[in-house]
Chains A and B, each alone.
Chain A
Amino acid sequence: MAVPDRPAVVVVADDDDLVRAVLRMALASAAVTVREAADSRELAAALSGGDVDLTILDISMPGPGLQANVLLVHESAPASRILILSGDAEVPASQAPHINDFARKPIDLDDLRSRVTRLLSTAPSGTP
């Protein structure tokens, strides 16, 4: 799943520390580096580190809201794909064109890994 020449960088943004821990442990490998963010401020910091290939974004993180977080990802890391994780059955229609994938929590970890692999091999979505 790695991008050539360096490990893929995945930002996991979720206010639940257990979710972040599980995702980090499930995804981290020699080919993937995981950065964590518990809110929008930490998300901005994680994105500012550069070279982000994928952002896994909780739909209801504390802070300015999903739309602002998606915009933040697109502005700070234009090359990053976006995977939304949510307890809801569907993503808001206004955000659908600006993300790459959507999955409902709790997600099966094998399913998560295959989605991450697929996303890392596709082009990022458009800016909102």
Chain B
Amino acid sequence: MSISSLRAAIGGAWSTHWVIWVGLFPVTLLFVLYREQALGPATVWWSVTSAIAQHIAVGLVVVVGGAILRRRRSILPVAVVATLWILACVTRALVTYAITSVGYAERSSPIADTLIWLAISVMWIPVTVLGVAEIDQRRLLLAARDITTDALITERAEAEETAQQLQARLLATVTAQLTPVLSDLHDSLNSARRRITSSTAAELGLRISRVHDETIDLVTADKAPAATDPEPQRATRVTFRRAFEIAAVPPARVAALVTLATIVGIVPDTARVYGAVASLQVAVAVIASGILLAALPALFAERASRGKGMTHLRATVILQGVAVAAAAVFLAVLPPSVWLADQWPVVPLTLLGFALAHTTYAIAFIVSAANADDDAALRAASAELDALRTCRAERSRLARERMAQLMHGPIQGRLAACVMALNFHAEIVTTDPARAETMLDSVLEHLQGVSAELQRLGAEADNDSPTASTKYP
């Protein structure tokens, strides 16, 4: 995870996105229910109401405020986003104070609440935003990489074709397309020659003119007739399942952040609800589990080095399972055990907080690292693709230049002469039939010459194609 990617994620749309706001509600609801036990709500529904009201207030500040600010610029400065979230913490504390003033035994402390929410936000919001942004980015990145890889495979296959082979393919295409048309024209002209009128001559001239233009189009077209199938349409994003096919485990430093995030989220409220001893127990249990979490990836790394690559999902689940179980055991064995007192709610909350923190941080770190690797691979593939395309364009240019030389006089020139001769024939057929007859003979002779030249080029193409091996740059 780099600072630049974190900055980009926080400045991007996800930091004030309604999906993240909605996604955070279940977690904050649990935290609010837990922490407000200390204030003695009349019923639990006061806490639920408080949590909903707080979350709506946060949504108004962050989501609505963010949307308004993004009207002018889609990427917000980090300071602006941070200010929004700080305002959200203050608002949440003030809403809590207002509600606890009505339905609770004690009023909350806006200052203490603000500080706790700020600490929680610092540890949880950036990493959540980064994780979501990286997953979204990953789906786009992998789709782009798939498209580039497909194009690269196609381009590599086409790179095997030499300029000589390309020229042979072009010749074969031109010959195959023109020969039947010319044959038809020749037959038409031959059969009509005894009763040819000026309009017939003009019409035949037009047909030859079209053949002439088609010949030019075939030779000078920007895109060579495709040797391979067209590229299939692809989705712009890959599936979530595909996005999580990552063969890596979270780095050891994630453990420290997970420990800190869990402590920040659970310990202050536990101190208020159950006292200092219980909060100390939680802190010790979380730190011990964090140490375990830091040590375990080394085992996975060793396993991976033996060729048993482990996916992100399996590694995370195993790590979490072990660390959460360890935390539960620590909370049970540290005297006085919270399991035995009425302080048991701290146990599931601590375990949940620990698991959530690990999931969030692990995803953010692993996906970010995988994205960096895939981004580098995409850049390399794109560079290779550009180089191959440039090379192919040069080969194509050379082949077409040679083709144009081959076609210019013997084919295009003769066809042009035929068109002009038939146009002139149309002018003189009634006034000078003898000269028109001679001209028609010349046209037929020219058309035969074109056909013969095409056959010769086609035969050359057949001979050149399989044996050609010289590659142009």
Contacts and interface: CB of A to CB of B under 8 A. Distances in A.
B428 A87 contact: no
Interface stretch (B92-100, B328-336, B439-447): B439-447
Interface in B204-262: 209, 212, 216
B184 to A, nearest CB: 19
B423 A18 contact: no
B17 interface: no
A83 B418 CA distance: 20
Interface residues on A, range: 10 to 19
Nearest to A61: B409
B424 A26 contact: yes
A87 B209 CA distance: 12
B209 A25 contact: no
B408 A60 contact: yes
B361 to A, nearest CB: 64
Contacts of B423: 106, 108-109
Contact of A18 (B408, B409, B417, B435): B417
Contacts of A22: 417, 420-421, 424, 439
B305 to A, nearest CB: 64
Contacts of A15: 409, 413
A21 interface: yes
Given A15-B409, A16-B414, A107 B435 contact: no
Contact of A19 (B212, B216, B417, B428): B417
Interface in A1-31: 15-19, 21-23, 25-26
Interface of A: 15-19, 21-23, 25-26, 60, 87, 105-109
Given A18-B417, A60-B409, 19 more contacts: A16-B413, A16-B417, A18-B414, A18-B418, A18-B421, A18-B443, A18-B446, A19-B416, A21-B442, A22-B424, A25-B428, A25-B435, A26-B424, A60-B413, A105-B416, A106-B209, A106-B212, A106-B418, A109-B423
9 contacts: A15-B413, A18-B417, A18-B446, A22-B421, A22-B424, A60-B408, A60-B409, A87-B413, A106-B420
